[in-house]
Amino acid sequence: MAHPQPRIGVVTYPGSQDDRDALWALGALDAEAVPVWHGERLLPSLDAVVLPGGFSYGDYLRCGAIARFSRATAAVCEFAAAGGLVLGICNGFQILCEAGLLPGLLLQNESLRFVCRDVSLRVERSDTPFTARCSEGQMLTIPVKHGDGRYVAPPDLDPAQVVFRYRDNPNGSVDDIAGVCNEAGNVLGLMPHPEHAVDPLLGSADGALVLASLVESARDRALAAA
């Protein structure tokens, strides 16, 4: 087969909302999208994992604080520790922060208001598995929809871990940060929703650049492992 489809899992937690959109978008971008239930302690054979947006466990206590202890999250942590590609979108980003896979944390928007609109994002790095199809400095239009998106960085955050910045900060995030990766570069979290921007009919297809980068990187890994 000249063109194998990489297998990309999307975890559904109780309260996830964007899991279906993520599955659909990955499928549209030529991946085999695999639903993963939060109760699964072992992941099926996958080339990448996406933690989708939503309100896992009702956002009780802190966003992502309870999802962090689910069985699938433990499996995702092991997958990431072994170098696997993990993308967290919105609530998925919050879960990755609570789980310690990404630095920092996301708090209530400075405005105390839920924001739901397209934002302009600057790509700060194009050398990650999630942005390979973008160029550095490129502006992307991708929607946000969150009440708790204000990024708080740890004092020792390496600026090189910032992958996306807002042009007009919608939530009071420190240093306009919209997305960060871990030191190794195999885990990325961002508040905007690339899975909601993969078709021009929906206002922008810029999110497809991010997800297609992930699909391509996952495919490269699948081929390298074969």
Partner 1 sequence: MKATVLVRPKEGILDPQGEAVERALAHLGFAVSGARVGKVVDLEVSGDDEASARAQVEKMCEQLLANPLIESYEIELQT
Residues forming the active site: 90, 193, 195
| CB 143, CB 151: distance < 8 Å | no
Task: Give the nearer residue to partner 1 in terms of CB position, either 17 or 108.
Answer: 108
Stretch that binds partner 1, among 6-14, 109-117, 118-126, 203-211 (CB under 8 A): 109-117
Task: Give the nearer residue to partner 1 in terms of CB position, either 27 or 172.
Answer: 172
How many angstroms from the chain centroid is the CA of residue 215? 13
Q: Which helix (H) or strand (E) holds 218?
A: helix 207-225
Q: What are the backbone dihedrals phi and psi of residue 20, each rounded to the nearest 5 degrees, phi first?
A: -70, -40
Q: Which helix (H) or strand (E) holds 211?
A: helix 207-225
Interacting residues with partner 1 between 59 and 88 (CB under 8 A):
61-62, 65-66, 69
Choose, by CB under 8 A, the member of 18, 21, 47, 98 that binds partner 1: 98
**How many residues appear in the chain?**
226
| CB 11, CB 76: distance < 8 Å | yes
CB of 72 to partner 1, least distance (A): 18
112 binds partner 1 (CB under 8 A): yes
Stretch that binds partner 1, among 83-91, 104-112, 134-142, 162-170 (CB under 8 A): 104-112
For the chain, the straight-line distance linking the first and the last C-alpha, in angstroms and rounded, comes to 12
Q: Which helix (H) or strand (E) holds 190?
A: strand 187-190
115 binds partner 1 (CB under 8 A): no
Task: Give the nearer residue to partner 1 in terms of CB position, either 80 or 102.
Answer: 102
CB of 128 to partner 1, least distance (A): 23
Q: Which amino acid is at 124?
A: E
Size of the site for partner 1 (CB under 8 A): 18
The strand pairing partners of 143, in sequence order, are: 118
Interacting residues with partner 1 between 139 and 158 (CB under 8 A):
150, 152, 154
| CB 72, CB 11: distance < 8 Å | yes
Residue numbers at the binding site for partner 1 (CB under 8 A): 61-62, 65-66, 69, 98, 104-105, 107-112, 150, 152, 154, 172
